[in-house]
């Protein structure tokens, strides 16, 4: 389970709409709880994919990831995972997403249909890297979570 407060949900949706018709991407910061993860911030990242591939692929450069890890450490937080958009495609991980993912991390995907953010889901890769399993997303705050 991942708790995604409304401010970060809104920010991810806005990033997806801004990047349309290309994919946006970014890093989730927060804390690991007994019952899952709690997002406490995001770091939007420039999609480092070649321009002609950005409509269906994203890449986060290692330098950007290192800066995010240093920022998380500075804030006494963890890198919980990543987010990206799927322009005019469902909020489901692709084979490409699976091939480039690591277990433990949350992978939030927002579908952006004709420029408007739609379904938002989260996924975790199994330890054997065989498949993604949908992760429950709780929107709101610890006191008022709405889980899907």
In whole numbers, what is the pLDDT of the chain averaged over residues?
Answer: 94
Percent of the chain with pLDDT over 90: 91
Model pLDDT, residue 146: 65
Calpha distance 68→89 (Å, rounded): 28
Model pLDDT, residue 141: 59
- Other C-beta atoms closer than 10 Å to the C-beta of 4 total 26
Structure tokens of 64? 């950007």
Structure tokens of 124? 């975790």
Q: How confident is the model at residue 62 (pLDDT cuts 50, 70, 90)?
A: very high
Q: Which domain holds residue 33?
A: 2-147
pLDDT score of 108 more than 80: yes
Q: How confident is the model at residue 35 (pLDDT cuts 50, 70, 90)?
A: confident
Calpha distance 72→130 (Å, rounded): 29
Answer for the pair 29, 65: CB distance below 8 angstroms, yes or no.
Answer: no
What is the model's pTM? 0.94
Number of structural domains the chain divides into? 1
Paired with 98 in beta bridges are none
Here the CATH number for the domain that contains residue 28 is 3.40.140.10
Q: How confident is the model at residue 6 (pLDDT cuts 50, 70, 90)?
A: very high
Q: How confident is the model at residue 79 (pLDDT cuts 50, 70, 90)?
A: very high
Name, of 28-37, 108-117, 135-144, the range with top average pLDDT.
108-117
């Amino acid at each position: 389970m991942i708790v995604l407060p409304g401010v970060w949900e809104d920010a991810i949706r806005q990033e997806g709409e801004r990047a349309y018709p290309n994919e946006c991407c970014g890093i989730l910061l927060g804390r690991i709880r007994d019952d899952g993860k709690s997002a406490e911030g995001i770091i939007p990242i420039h999609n480092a994919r070649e321009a002609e591939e950005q409509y269906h692929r994203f890449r986060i450069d290692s330098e950007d990831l290192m800066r995010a890890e240093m920022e998380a450490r500075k804030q006494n937080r963890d890198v919980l995972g990543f987010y990206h958009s799927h322009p005019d495609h469902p909020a489901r991980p692709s084979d490409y997403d699976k091939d480039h993912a690591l277990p433990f991390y949350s992978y939030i995907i927002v579908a952006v249909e004709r420029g408007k953010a739609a379904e938002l889901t989260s996924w975790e890769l199994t330890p054997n890297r065989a498949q993604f399993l949908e992760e429950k997303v709780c929107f709101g705050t610890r006191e008022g979570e709405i889980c899907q």
